[in-house]
Amino acid sequence: MGNNIRNVAVLGHMSSGKTTLVEGLYALANNTTMGSVDRKNTISDYTLEEQNRKSSIKSSIVPIKYNDYKINLIDIPGNDDFICEAIQTISVVKGAILVIDAKKGIEVETVKHYNMLKRKNIPTIIYVNKMDSEGVKFDEVFDNISSVLGKNAIPFCYPMGHNDNFDGFVNVVELKGRKYNGKTCDDCEIYPDKRAKVLELHNKMIEAVAESKEELMEKFFMGEELTRAEIKEGLREGVLNGSLIPVLVGSATKSIGLHTLLDMVIDYMPDPSDLKPIVGETLDGEVIERKTLDEEPFSAFIFKTNVDAYSGVTSIFKINSGVVHQNDEVYISDLNNTLTLSNIYTICGGKLTQVSELHAGDIGCVCKVDGLENSMTLSDPKSKVVYSKIEYPSSVYFKALKPKSKNDDDKLSSVLQKLKLEDPTLSIVRNRETKQLLLGTLSLGHLNYILERMKNSYKLEIDIEDYRVVYRETITKEAHGSGRYVKQSGGSGFYGVVEMKFEPAEENYFTEEVFGGAVPKNYFPAVEKGFNEACEKGLLKGYPVIGVHSVLLDGKYHAVDSNELSFKNASILAFKDAYMKAGPTILEPIIEMTITVESDLVGDILSDLNQRRAKIVGMEINSMGQQKLKALAPEIEILEYVNDLRSLTQGSGYFNRKFYGYEKVPAYLIDKIPENE
């Protein structure tokens, strides 16, 4: 069974027609009527939020049977806010269809998805969709593809149609015409006006195949014809090793080019015998390989999780090796435990079907199994293995969340934890200083989706507000202070007197230079405690104070009335006495950003960063020819940066952020900094 399974991701820019294409392929395979995104009845876009937007948010698995093959199509959202879905799917598939809108050509997300596929060496077929749209000129679209994605792209199909009307195409490999009959396509003659062009493309293709192998090259130059089997084998090798990218044409809404696409998926996408074994580790960290064959011990990788308010958590896995049966016990190293999979399912859009077993290479899922999370490996307890985890981009857009109803605080935390199971790019931070609950997302659009989801599925209404940047205070020069905490009016009293010095340092710390026991040793910890307490709230704006070395120089004590509290309070008073003399100032958090943009946009990006008081600390070109800038920027200046960067780069630029440290706020801005509440 394993050899007859293909897992194929369907990627491409928003609105290029991926969901429609998957819908068309499903209808063709099952001989049913296809649903439509606009009528909100597709298999893939089954959630309320997707139907509201008429655009995919979650990737959907849509298995189809075609000839003797099972093809698990995975429809990916084109929207970059949900890039997590593409990352997860690309981590398990071994083939991809990249959909391009013929009217628009290559768009930002086409390039992003293409680069992701290239990095993982995933064989790819390009499907130029919407060829039925008015005014489409395929030759121009093709030039655009070759100039942006490279010369590897080769037309395996060429459109036909009189008077610019697209009504079919030629399979350039087989030199067969396919004509649309109003419902589907039938074989036909190649239109006379296309013959010369198609032959030229066919011959170029043969030449490319001949060049790939010496024996074929000889045959070619001897004037012998290559056999169909040799041509196909040559093309197949080229597609598998990434040196060829077949370009097909069609229309998903009219079901043009779909049979040919499926045939090519089967002919040119790798079957498990083409694949290198999947590399994992034993529990001792030794490298171990698993072939995607039923005979191997069972292992599977959870690449995706769906959370539903009613049906709970669905953990979706790809079986990397072996077979799994209902009630099998599996080992999970993250839990250091075994679990029994009482029920296993296949999944199609939002629908699960219970099955008794699942085979190597297939995709399946389990429901409501506590403890399972994305990136966990399930394996045969007698043959344990662990696969490496998926890496995600980190959140770059933070907002503070506040439930509209006060009673919903606990609910909010638990719903966020659930949504994070589904989407690991979210981050949830409770800031102890500001008491705000922060949600980190990839963008405003991503945040809005999460809010909509909370409202629709969990009846949770949330207000958002900017998060408060957490400033610090420090001193810039040395100053002395005295503290005297003395109360001696009857009963047991207080007596603590200290002389202290405060000076700028890397971090807060305390030392003493007391001479001759002026302050007994046993009170030093109390003085230090007082210093630490005083640092919790600076006198300038009430922010914590960092970077101060305090030195206890001298003092006085009383044999009866002195105690720890007296010295602690005296120390606080000394700090207060010295603070304003020590040139106090405000420090702001600095974020280190790594920004990746197309090289021609660097000028705009730099001038924008300049206005944000950012310092550029590194610039390099990455392997894709893009500029990678490293910048240090005040956090307050980049709260909305992700949205601004997207508009400056039409969506092609992206960045990562991490906390770098604190730096002094320029004097002219200190007044604008709010008092700490």
**Contacts to ligand GTP by CB under 6 A:** 12, 14-20, 36-38, 55-56, 77-79, 129-130, 132-133, 251-253
Picked from ligand GTP, Mg ion, none, the partner binding residue 16 (CB below 5 to 8 A depending on kind) is: ligand GTP
Among 15-23, 206-214, 267-275, 586-594, the segment contacting Mg ion (CB under 5 A): 15-23
- By residue count, the chain amounts to 677
Smallest separation, CB 64 to ligand GTP (Å): 16
Residue 251 or 532 having the CB closest to ligand GTP:
251
CB 605 within 8 A of CB 653: yes
Identity of the residue, 304 or 613, whose beta carbon is nearer to Mg ion in the bound complex: 304
Q: Does 346 bind Mg ion (CB under 5 A)?
A: no
Minimum distance of ligand GTP from residue 144's CB (angstroms): 18
Instruction: Using the rule CB under 5 A, give the single segment among 17-25, 119-127, 228-236, 291-299 that binds Mg ion.
Output: 17-25
Q: Confirm or reject binding of residue 19 to Mg ion (CB under 5 A).
A: yes
Rounded to a whole number of angstroms, the distance between the first and last alpha carbons of the chain is 65
Nearest distance from C-beta of residue 195 to ligand GTP, angstroms: 26
90 binds, among Mg ion, ligand GTP, none (CB under 5 to 8 A by kind): none
Q: 569 by DSSP, 3-state: which?
A: helix
Strand bridging mode 245-249 / 153-155: parallel
Q: How far is the CB of 467 from Mg ion (least distance, A)?
A: 32
- Pick 250 or 584: Cβ nearer ligand GTP: 250
Select from Mg ion, ligand GTP, none the partner in contact with residue 569, using the beta carbon and a kind-dependent cut-off of 5 to 8 Å.
Answer: none
CB of 348 to ligand GTP, least distance (A): 17
266: its two tokens: 């089967």
* CB 19 to ligand GTP: min, Å: 3
* 303 close to 320: Cβ distance less than 8 angstroms: no
Q: Which is nearer to ligand GTP, 57 or 302 (CB)?
A: 57
**Smallest gap from residue 415 Cβ to ligand GTP (A):** 25
Give DSSP secondary structure letters for 621-643.
Answer: E-TTS-EEEEEEEEGGGGTTHHH
State which residue, 98 or 385, has the beta carbon closest to ligand GTP.
98
Q: Choosing among ligand GTP, Mg ion, none, which partner's interface includes residue 234 (Cβ < 5 to 8 Å by kind)?
A: none
Three-class secondary structure of residue 670 per DSSP: helix
User: Cβ closer to ligand GTP: 20 or 562?
Assistant: 20
CB of 447 to ligand GTP, least distance (A): 18
Measured CA to CA, the distance from residue 335 to residue 339 in angstroms comes to 9
Smallest separation (angstroms) from ligand GTP to the CB of 90 = 15
CB of 77 to ligand GTP, least distance (A): 5
Binding to Mg ion (CB under 5 A): which residues in 47-106?
Answer: 56
Q: Which is nearer to ligand GTP, 446 or 613 (CB)?
A: 446
Residue 20 interacts with, from ligand GTP, Mg ion, none (CB under 5-8 Å by kind): ligand GTP
Q: Could you tell me the two tokens for 276?
A: 């290198």
Q: What is the 3-state secondary structure (H, E, C) of 407-420?
A: HHHHHHHHHHHHHH
Neighbouring residues of 198: CB distance < 8 A, sequence distance ≥ 6: 158, 170, 172, 175, 190
Helices 138-149 and 108-119 cross at an angle (nearest 10°) of 50
Residue 38 binding result from Mg ion, ligand GTP, none, given CB thresholds of 5 to 8 Å by partner type: ligand GTP
- By beta-carbon proximity to ligand GTP, the closer residue of 56 and 320 is 56
**DSSP letter, residue 675:** P
Residue 250 or 322: the one with the smaller Cβ distance to ligand GTP is 250
- Look at residue 603 and give its three-state secondary structure: helix
Residue 252's binding partner among Mg ion, ligand GTP, none (Cβ under 5 to 8 angstroms by kind) is ligand GTP
- What minimum distance in Å lies between the beta carbon of 42 and Mg ion? 8
**Residues in region 27-56 near Mg ion by CB under 5 A:** 56
Find how far residue 172's CA is from the centre of its chain.
38
Q: Which stretch binds Mg ion (CB under 5 A): 14-22, 123-131, 534-542, 647-655?
A: 14-22
Q: Residue 111's closest CA among 587, 618, 675, 626?
A: 626
Residue count, binding to Mg ion (CB under 5 A): 3
Q: How far is the CB of 22 from Mg ion (least distance, A)?
A: 8
Task: Strands of 505-584 (E only): list them.
Answer: 509-512, 548-557
550 binds, among Mg ion, ligand GTP, none (CB under 5 to 8 A by kind): none
d(CA 429, CA 483): 39
- 264 or 323, CB closer to ligand GTP? 264
Alpha-carbon distance of 117 to 123, in angstroms, equals 8
DSSP 322: S
Look at residue 253 and give the partner it binds from Mg ion, ligand GTP, none, a contact being a CB closer than 5 to 8 Å depending on partner kind. Answer: ligand GTP
Which of these segments, 16-24, 206-214, 331-339, 564-572, binds Mg ion (CB under 5 A)? 16-24
Q: Between residues 57 and 117, which has the closer beta carbon with respect to Mg ion? A: 57
Q: Measured at CB, which residue is nearest to ligand GTP?
A: 78
* CB proximity list for 536: less than 8 A, separation 6 or greater: 544, 545
CB 192 within 8 A of CB 160: no
Rg of the chain over all Cα atoms, to the nearest angstrom: 33
Burial (CB count within 10 angstroms: exposed 0-12, middle 13-18, buried 19+), residue 645: buried
CB nearer Mg ion, residue 19 or residue 550: 19
Query: Is residue 462 a contact partner of residue 454, using CB atoms and an 8 Å limit?
Result: yes
Place of tokens 């090793």: 241
The runs of H, that is alpha helices, within 213-310 are 214-221, 228-240, 258-268
Write down the least CB distance from residue 351 to Mg ion, Å: 17
Half-sphere exposure of 28 (CA within 13 A, CB side): 24
CA 178 to chain centre: 40
Do 247 and 154 form a contact (C-beta atoms < 8 A)?
yes
Binding footprint of Mg ion on the chain (CB under 5 A): 18-19, 56
